[in-house]
Chain A
């Protein structure tokens, strides 16, 4: 094959490629391509184009798109080409289609049929071409059309076909796990395929499955280990060798899988030690691929249950990487070091110099990697140096993405290890000043919360000092031009809350500054809103302290402006301010207590104070309340939706295969709906009644948070007349709220109340988060170290040569749980920007529902099978829902746990190891449960020693 094209390439094509190749500028290239587009538009729709010619046109289209221009005019011709009989032409057609179309493109429908036909072809190359296309073009909706054929192909005599079929199934799993969830056992089967290529490919889906659910695959540990052993012993065909390494890519994939399976599992890990040790010894460290495998070994060793000998080998390799001249190896070394110091912190020390070298290296990639390492090594002893360095670097770079990341890391470290409040405030100021608008708004909220709550030490004096120093620094910083909006919000809030608290500054000082801010940033409404609320607080505190309030003229003009503002939010704040100023000291004290931002505001979500009233009404013959979701008629609606769904899908596409995969169809119905249709019906009428009686006190939080999403079941809908009931009670509840409302005037002061609701919600949310947290507390932070590493060296540079290696004892457990706890921190406070509005709506809503429905209960309760006599059947129902939901989960887990092993029939794996493994795992879940309890505790009291509020920024 000469480089000048094969026999059937036309002169035209050769010229085109040449001219593209010779183009000296992007503009010239664009000109050529635009020209080409014109030519092709004319030519491609001519009749009777020979297929060779057509194939060439299609490749020219590929060129057009590759060079960044639209070739959609020719897509249809690519689609047509997939019908061709000639394999080469067909495959080119498929290639073009996969390059041009995404899986949701309209033209896909035209290809599905061809794919179906080709999957049945006798020519295995045609089948392969079709399977390639399946991997790229089939979306969730079209999976059922090809699934049965793909399943058949898993047993195809040609290994190339089996391999591609496995990958197609893998693709389906990625696209829609539920549609193939009953087929995942096929991956296990293919693992023992005779062909190493098929086995190697199967590792890809298995890796993903295991990453999602480690425990169901523990039985495969032995198999993976034995495969890895055979690979390492060169039992595979030489064809897979790379530079004398036996099948390195398979080795790497296996090591990745073992790392997952052995993580936190001593017994599983013990099975792996020998083989990993062997690979350490056998690997050729002079070749690139040898080092790749060695690096993967280190990753594996640092993930599985620690073994001293392996750790030693890993440390040796790391030091060789770090000492190497190759930047690539240094990079890998730094990365590996970051992994290993979690387990053996002492190894960092011997590499201090190498680490510092990397940090100073002009290569940005290496520098960043080193910052990542430093971030992992940060302790309270070295935090100042590290964060300082990070901020300097942050200021020096212009890449916003990385700037954001490093800023949030600085914040996190400062938060976690700050040696003094002074330093903390200064650090935060620097971060905000230089990256304010990039920092997640949550960080700002956490900073406010931190200043409000103090550092958790029960020392009011320290807290107020912290605040004073914050106020002072902010007043100074306000002199600087152009501050980021987020930072200004923090400044305004802190000035409003604490500006006058210590008496250092007079109200007119602070209000003057606040007015300046509002004026200088007059097109930033959020800042203005914060400034206005801060003004209101300052004046309120003045009034409450019985001092005479003189509004500054600039403040007055600001208020006049805001009272006429287009923003209703600003207007309201201005009016509120006006109203507050008009009140007497006593009233102001009540609505705007000073330093009350941390006080809990209790919101009675169940309106239990109305119970007596409702009881009375019911005794007088009123109908009990039924929540909207339970009301009659919902069934019909949900049924309609169901039908719609079915109809829509059958409209879109009709393939013969449609009858088969029922589960796939259902999977597209929202999860919630499934739960309600499948699980609720029978037990529901009985269960709630009892649980209601016995667990009444604990229900409310559950009920409130379970959201009104389900219970569309088994009820007929009827609308009733409005009744008198709620009139009084509504006003009652709102009046109660206005009190809250005013004191909540600005979002941040509701922090605590919000946290409460979040906490109450946690039990539900956790069901899914639990695993992640568990994982995090097991291996994520479990080995955070206290040893003082390399940066000691830097501290020395910074001149204090004698810095002691003081160890601040903090158990790893604590760190871990801190981390996890922080994940539960209430998110964006601005969600509560107008707490009055939201909470009112929340509480009023049930009444509206009640209003409409007092007389429909009979129907509903008849359906429910039990006469509803209580005030809050909705609560019960919701409770049941959640209970059912949880049950459901467990069941599913159990089932899958049961079914998986039973399906498997692995070579070399008997039932025995499985049993022993599962029993050996036991201590771990227990540990993690304990940790989890701790985590929860921390979550509820976030003002613990080490408030770690920012972890959630770094998912």
Chain B
């Protein structure tokens, strides 16, 4: 499975984007988000960017006010996931230009579309920014 979920949370702990690759009910999501956001936000810069939680790991990275959290299986390569987060941010940056929290909020569906291109079935399937963005740009043009 690899990736179980991807969350974007601001530093107040408010969810800005959530994508799950295994089904959780609304209550489960709420509980899980509360739990791990609390855990990750409490950590400082020097500590590792990985947190073990139940039977999986969370790899997280902070960009300005926004935390990107990715829940992965235990045998996933943490550094690679860290790089994946960076790739996601770079991609959004390329599309929005200096991406910020508000860009994601106002264009939630686009952020999701990018994720849809990058990750399927919990596996990373596309890492070329051009390939990730081309369908979105085509759609923009069409409408």
A86 contacts the other chain (CB 8 A): yes
Interface of A, secondary structure class, is helix
A-B contact pairs, 6 of them (CB 8 A): A66-B15, A167-B120, A167-B123, A204-B125, A240-B127, A295-B79
Chain A residues lying within 8 Å of B55, measured Cβ to Cβ, are 401
When the two chains form their complex, are residues B130 and A239 in contact, meaning their CB atoms are under 8 A apart? yes
Within 8 Å of chain A (Cβ to Cβ): is B41?
no
A102 adjacent to chain B (CB < 8 Å): yes
Determine whether the beta carbon of A363 is less than 8 Å from that of B48. Answer: yes
Task: State whether the Cβ of A785 lies closer than 8 Å to any Cβ in chain B.
Answer: no
Given contacts A125-B138, A197-B128, A365-B51, contact A242 B106 (CB under 8 A): no
A345 touches B (CB below 8 Å): no
User: Which positions 87-129 of chain B face chain A at CB distance < 8 Å?
Assistant: 87, 95-97, 100-103, 105-109, 112-113, 116, 120-121, 123-129
| B residues 1-16 touching A (CB-CB < 8 Å) | 2, 12-15
Smallest CB gap from B46: residue in A: A327
- Specify the chain A residue showing the minimal Cβ separation from B29: A68
Report Cα–Cα, A67/B86, bound state, in Å. 25
Query: Of A3-11, A534-542, A707-715, A823-831, which binds chain B?
Result: A3-11
Contact of A365 among B14, B48, B139 (CB under 8 A): B48
CA distance A242 to B2 in the complex (A): 20
Q: Are A365 and B125 in contact (CB under 8 A)?
A: no
A295 touching B126 in the complex, CB below 8 Å, given contacts A3-B100, A95-B116, A132-B116: no
In the complex formed, the residue of A with least CB distance to B22 is A102
User: Is the Cβ of A66 less than 8 Å from the Cβ of B23?
Assistant: no
Q: Would B108 and A63 count as touching, CB distance under 8 A? A: yes
**Those 9 A-B pairs whose CB atoms lie nearest each other, nearest first:** A292-B79, A239-B128, A204-B123, A102-B23, A327-B48, A167-B120, A292-B80, A201-B125, A68-B30
CB of A239 within 8 A of CB of B105, answer: no
Q: A67-B15, A87-B139, A328-B82 are contacts. A163–B121 as well, Cβ < 8 Å?
A: no
A288 touches B (CB below 8 Å)? yes
A330 within 8 A of B: yes
Q: Contacting chain B: which of A14-22, A461-469, A719-727, A876-884?
A: A14-22
- The answer to whether B142 and A87 have CB atoms under 8 Å apart is yes
Q: Does A756 contact B (CB under 8 A)?
A: no
> Contact string, A215-249, partner B, CB cutoff 8 A, digits 1/0?
00000000000000000000001011010000111
| Chain A residues whose C-beta falls within 8 Å of the C-beta of B124 in the assembled complex | 249
Residues of chain A having any CB pair with chain B under 8 Å: 1, 3-6, 9, 14, 17, 20-21, 23-24, 26, 29, 59, 62-63, 65-70, 86-88, 91-92, 95, 99, 102-103, 125, 128, 132, 135, 160, 163-164, 167, 170-171, 174, 197, 200-201, 204, 237, 239-240, 242, 247-250, 252, 288-289, 291-292, 295-296, 299, 327-328, 330-332, 363, 365-366, 368, 401-402
Q: With contacts A62-B109, A63-B108, A288-B86 known, what are 12 further pairs, Cβ within 8 A? A: A5-B107, A17-B106, A21-B101, A67-B14, A86-B142, A163-B125, A197-B128, A249-B127, A252-B80, A296-B80, A328-B49, A363-B47
Contact B79 A291 (CB under 8 A): yes
Whole-angstrom distance between the alpha carbons of A20 and B16 in the complex?
10
Known contacts A17-B106, A249-B80, A296-B80; decide if A331 and B50 are in contact (CB<8 Å): yes
**Minimum distance in angstroms from A611 CB to a CB of chain B:** 51
Nearest-neighbour CB distance to chain B for A765, whole angstroms, equals: 25
Asked if A167 contacts B121 (CB within 8 A), the reply is yes
Instruction: Name the contact of B77 in the complex, choosing from A125, A200, A296, A366 (C-beta under 8 A).
Output: A296
CB < 8 Å neighbour of B97 from A1, A125, A289 = A1
Q: Are B139 and A125 in contact (CB under 8 A)?
A: yes
Query: Are A95's CB and B113's CB within 8 A?
Result: yes
- Given A1-B96, A68-B26, A252-B77, verify A327-B127 contact (CB < 8 Å): no
Residues from chain B with Cβ under 8 Å of A66 in the complex: 15, 17-18
Contact B121 A170 (CB under 8 A): yes
Chain A residues lying within 8 Å of B50, measured Cβ to Cβ, are 328, 331, 365
Residues of B within 8 A of A252 (CB): 77, 80
Docked-complex contact A197 and B126, CB < 8 angstroms: yes
* Residue on B nearest A132 in the bound complex, by CB: B116
Task: Tell me the bound Cα distance from A95 to B30 in angstroms.
Answer: 20
The answer on a CB contact under 8 Å between B106 and A4 is yes
Among A24, A68, A197, residue most surrounded by chain B Cβ atoms (within 10 Å): A68
> A240 and B128: CB pair below 8 A?
yes
Q: How far is the CB of A922 from chain B (nearest CB, A)?
A: 29
- C-alpha spacing A327/B48, complex, angstroms: 5
Residues of chain B in range 41-98 having any CB-CB distance to chain A below 8 Å: 43, 46-52, 54-55, 77-80, 82-84, 86-87, 95-97
Provide the residues of chain B in CB contact with A248, threshold 8 Å. Answer: 80, 83
Shortest Cβ distance from B76 into chain A, in angstroms?
Answer: 10
Distance between B8 CB and nearest chain A CB, rounded to angstroms: 10
Q: Of all chain A residues, which has the CB nearest B112?
A: A95
Q: How far is the CB of A190 from chain B (nearest CB, A)?
A: 12
Given A170-B121, A328-B78, decide whether A160 and B135 contact each other with a Cβ distance below 8 A: yes
- The answer to whether A289 and B79 touch (CB under 8 A), given A87-B139, A95-B116, A204-B123, is yes
| CB < 8 Å neighbour of A242 from B14, B43, B83 | B83
Q: B125 contacts which chain A residues (CB < 8 A)? A: 163, 167, 197, 200-201, 204
Chain B residues with Cβ below 8 Å from A197 are 125-126, 128, 131
Residues on A with C-beta less than 8 A from B33 are 68
CB-CB under 8 A from A160, the residues of chain B are 131, 135
Contact between chains at B113 and A365 (CB < 8 Å): no
A332 & B79 in contact (Cβ 8 Å cutoff): yes
Chain B residue nearest in CB terms to A102: B23
Q: Say yes or no: A288-B26 contact (C-beta < 8 A), given A135-B120, A247-B127.
A: no
| Distance of A291 Cα from B19 Cα, bound (Å) | 27
Q: Is the pair B126, A201 in contact by a Cβ cutoff of 8 Å?
A: yes
Most buried by A among B84, B124, B125: B125
In the bound complex, residues from chain A placing their C-beta under 8 Å from that of B18 are: 66
Q: Is the CB of A86 within 8 A of B143?
A: yes
> Known contacts A59-B109, A167-B121, A237-B128: does B54 contact A125 (CB below 8 Å)?
no
Tell me which residues across on chain A come within 8 A of B102, comparing CB atoms.
Answer: 3-4, 17, 21
Q: State the CA gap A328–B81 with chains docked (Å).
A: 12
Q: B79 contacts which chain A residues (CB < 8 A)?
A: 288-289, 291-292, 295, 328, 332
Contacting pair B139 A91 (CB below 8 A): yes
A66 to B14, CA, bound (A): 10
Task: Give min CB distance, A295 to chain B, whole Å.
Answer: 6
Q: Which residues of A contact B121 (CB under 8 A)?
A: 135, 167, 170-171, 174, 204
Say yes or no: B120 contacts A402, CB within 8 Å: no
CA distance A69 to B27 in the complex (A): 9
Contact of A88 among B46, B131, B139 (CB under 8 A): B139
In the complex, residue of chain B having the shortest beta-carbon distance to the beta carbon of A203: B123
Determine whether the beta carbon of B80 is less than 8 Å from that of A103.
no
From A23, A87, A242, A291, B127 is in contact (CB under 8 Å) with A242
Q: How far is the CA of A165 from the CA of B96 in the complex (A)?
A: 29
The smallest beta-carbon distance between B131 and chain A, in angstroms, is 6
Residues of A within 8 A of B15 (CB): 66-68
Contacts of B17 in A (CB 8 A): 66
**A21 and B105 contact, Cβ closer than 8 Å, known pairs A88-B143, A167-B125:** yes
By the criterion CB–CB under 8 Å, are B96 and A3 in contact? yes
When distances are taken between beta carbons in the complex, the residues of chain A under 8 Å from B84 are 249
In angstroms, Cα B26 to Cα A401, docked, is 22
The answer to whether B143 and A87 have CB atoms under 8 Å apart is: yes
Q: Taking A3-B106, A14-B106, A332-B78 as contacts, is the C-beta distance between A239 and B126 under 8 angstroms?
A: no
